[in-house]
Amino acid sequence: MKRSGLLFIWITLGMVTAGAIFAPFLAPYQPEDQARDFFYAPPTAVHFFDEQGSFSVRPFIYDYARISDRPLYRATQEKLFLEFWVEGAEYRWLGATWDRHLFGVSASKKPVFLLGSDSLGRDQLSRLLYGMRFSLGVGLAGILFTLLVGVGLGSLAGYAGGIVDTLVMRTCDLFLSLPGLFLVLGLRAVVPLEISTATTFWLIVLIFTLIGWGSVTRVIRGQVLTLKERQHVLAAKVIGASDWRVLIHHILPLTSNYLVVQASVLLPLFILGEITLSFLGVGVQEPGVSMGTLLNTATSLQALAQFRWLTAPVVVIFLTVLSFNLLGERLKALDRVRARWW
């Protein structure tokens, strides 16, 4: 059971991470591309056998046409073969411009929606990949800056002591006493309502950093206060090692276990925080896409009853957060085992 749980964690996180990193290549369309004639189109089934039972090495789909003004579609007999490494919309990736996508159909054919389309005819798979890329990127950037600020200020306060320690910790207490919601609304109030997606990205990262650095700083300070009295640290000072070298080479490496566990705990919280902000309308705005904006399409019970593929973002969010939480619990257990031995 333990191995199967660990396998589930790595498979889920591996797929989510790969989807976020290679989103421009994996997505057949841009997230804002619209096919107005195919709004609420159902997911397209991929076939290897036709109706006569003949096998095809190349995967194919059946074309479908709308049969009324409402989103009602029926499959036709026309086969559309999927093509790989196809030319499509240009995108920026790794500092270069690319126009190749993993799969698609000929430009003269109708679009393929493996996860269906939304009310504007936008491909759900493409929007899901780009949305996960944004939400996961915000979480990772938030973790990075939170840990950098927390480790920097916590180690400074714990090692220097005196007035530096007092100043850092009182500032830390101030930020910890502020409700996170008030901090979010206060920062959002001083920013224009219409801002670019990139600006929104860094604004949310700033918010998460301001919310999370205090708790990391307090723990790192406490660990540095304890570690700087250990024998190997005192020995390094005796032989003439500088304070900077002692801190970087002899103290901070011993806090790595806590930082890894803390990162695994904070990451799902930051992802859910970004999703919540975008869902409430204070994060990413249309036509930008994140997992929070995707959830807005799934708020109508009538739409969910008729177009169940709109719940795909909910499933991805649930599995992603569950995997990160399970990983965090495992890392906490390993850290407790190490603490017993050391």
DSSP for 31-49 reads TT---GGGTTPPPPPPEEE
CA dihedral 52, 55, 57, 62 (to 10 degrees): 30
Q: Is residue 108 domain-shared with residue 238, that is, in the same domain?
A: no
Residue 46 is which amino acid?
A: V
Kindly state whether residues 243 and 212 are assigned to the same domain. Answer: yes
What is the domain extent for residue 86? Answer: 44-112
Q: Are 75 and 63 in contact (CB under 8 A)?
A: yes
CB 309 within 8 A of CB 316: no
In this structure, the answer to whether residues 144 and 106 fall within a common structural domain is no
Q: What is the pLDDT of residues 299-341, one digit of tens each?
A: 777 777 788 888 888 899 999 999 988 888 887 777 666 655 5
Lowest mean pLDDT among 9-18, 118-127, 217-226, 231-240: 231-240
10, part of any domain: no
In eight-state DSSP terms, residue 178 is S
Only one residue has tokens 């919601």, namely: 181
Same domain membership, residue 91 and residue 133: no
Which pLDDT score is estimated for 143? 94
Confidence at residue 340, expressed as pLDDT on a 0 to 100 scale: 56
Regarding whether 281 and 225 lie in a shared domain, the answer is: yes
Q: State the DSSP string of 105-135.
A: --TTS----TT-B-TT--BHHHHHHHHHHHH
Q: Which of 112, 136, 159 is the last residue of a domain?
A: 112
Q: Select from 112, 143, 158 the last residue of a domain.
A: 112
Does the residue 237 lie in any domain? yes
What is the per-residue pLDDT across 119-155, written as a single tens digit (0 to 9) for each?
888 999 999 999 999 999 999 999 999 999 999 999 9
Collect all residues with Cβ–Cβ distance below 8 Å to 268 and sequence separation of at least 6: 139, 320, 321, 324, 325, 328
pLDDT of 239-277, one tens digit each? 888 888 888 888 888 888 888 888 888 999 999 988 988
More confident residue, 130 or 41: 130
In a domain, 319, yes or no: yes
Q: Which two tokens stand for residue 322?
A: 């569950």
Last residue of a domain, one of 56, 79, 112: 112
Q: Which residue has the higher pLDDT, 65 or 175?
A: 175
Please give the order of strands across the beta sheet that includes 47-49.
Answer: 47-49, 55-66, 73-81
Question: Are both 216 and 305 inside the same structural domain?
Answer: yes
- CATH code of 177's domain: 1.10.3720.10
Residues 210 and 278 in one domain: yes
Structurally, how many domains does the chain consist of?
2
Q: Are residues 258 and 291 in the same domain?
A: yes
CA neighbor of 311 nearest in space, from 178, 155, 118, 41: 118
Same domain, 182 and 224: yes
Peptide bond into 287 cis (omega under 30): yes
